Amino acid sequence: MLQIFKNNFSLKLLSLALALAGWGYFRFATNAVVAAPQQLSIPITTTHLALGYIARFAEKQAVVTVAAPKRGGAAVRPDDVKAVLDLNSLSAGVYNVPVQLVAPNVAVQSLSPASVTLAIERIAQKVFPLGIYYSGARGNAVVASDAKILPLQAAARGASDDLSRVASIRADVPLPNAPEQFDSMVRPVAVDSLGTEVTDVQVSPNLVRVRVHFAGAKPR
């Protein structure tokens, strides 16, 4: 009887050890491979913006947290999720628009920001006469003469507020150190009253031809 008890006791210990080992494996080994939720940075885009308008907003990225893929499953790629502002039927004005996620088959846990404040402005265009601005150190070495620029005018196009800042459109020509004939295609730029480029407007044409004869300056 004692021998049977000893044998059963050994079997019980073995069963308990196997049970503990199995529990430990599933408790720790499987949990060790469970991935944490993914956090993605997604560009915010607009859709259904009316023709002839531009939307301006400061927050360009949305942070999206998605559930971790199942074990063995592929991680979610940023291209799998779209963050969209639907501007359907909106005209000029300031709006707070919810961020809509297009993420089929993706379990989204959080989104930031949930909405974006934006301004919709009408796109305008204005024509300016083209001028030449001589850049660089100014001295008595050369003088510009017989300057020509073609075409004579250029158009600036952009949001109404940006366009109102444009004072002129000019082509910048560097001053040479010695007499020469300048003949080149130059990118015209829209500038404000202080001569600073207004970068948020488009200038057309994007290149103009400038010809300038730089002659030696006469001594005083």
CATH number at residue 71: 2.170.120.30
Flag whether 68 is in a domain.
yes
Same domain, 133 and 103: no
- In the structure, what pLDDT confidence band is assigned to residue 108 with cuts at 50, 70 and 90? confident
Whole-number pLDDT of residue 140 = 62
Flag whether 73 is in a domain.
yes
Tell me how far apart the alpha carbons of residues 96 and 101 are, in angstroms, rounded to a whole number: 16
Q: Taken in order 121, 127, 129, 133, is the CA torsion positive or negative?
A: positive
Same domain, 172 and 134: yes
Q: Which of 113, 134, 155 is the last residue of a domain?
A: 113
Tell me if the pTM is above 0.85.
Answer: no
At 132, which CATH number?
Answer: 2.170.120.40
Flag whether 130 is in a domain.
yes
Q: Rounded mean pLDDT of 208-216?
A: 94
Exposure on the CB side of residue 35, measured as CA atoms within 13 A: 15
Residue 73: domain span? 38-113
Same domain, 107 and 167: no
Same domain, 195 and 136: yes
Whole-number pLDDT of residue 5 = 45
Q: In 3D, which of 144, 120, 150 has the Cα closest to residue 216?
A: 144
Mean of all residue pLDDT scores within the chain: 85
Instruction: Report the number of distinct structural domains present in the chain.
Output: 2
Q: Which of 113, 145, 176 is the last residue of a domain?
A: 113
Flag whether 142 is in a domain.
yes
Flag whether 17 is in a domain.
no
More confident residue, 126 or 67: 126
Q: Which of 113, 132, 165 is the last residue of a domain?
A: 113
Q: Which residue has the tokens 């430990």?
A: 24
More confident residue, 151 or 220: 151
Same domain, 196 and 146: yes
Flag whether 4 is in a domain.
no
Q: Which residue has the tokens 């031809």?
A: 209
pLDDT tens digits, one per residue of 11-33? 555 566 666 666 565 555 544 44
Flag whether 90 is in a domain.
yes
- In the structure, what pLDDT confidence band is assigned to residue 116 with cuts at 50, 70 and 90? very high
Same domain, 53 and 86: yes
Same domain, 62 and 103: yes
Flag whether 109 is in a domain.
yes
Q: Rounded mean pLDDT of 147-156?
A: 97
Rg of the chain's alpha carbons, rounded to an integer?
A: 35
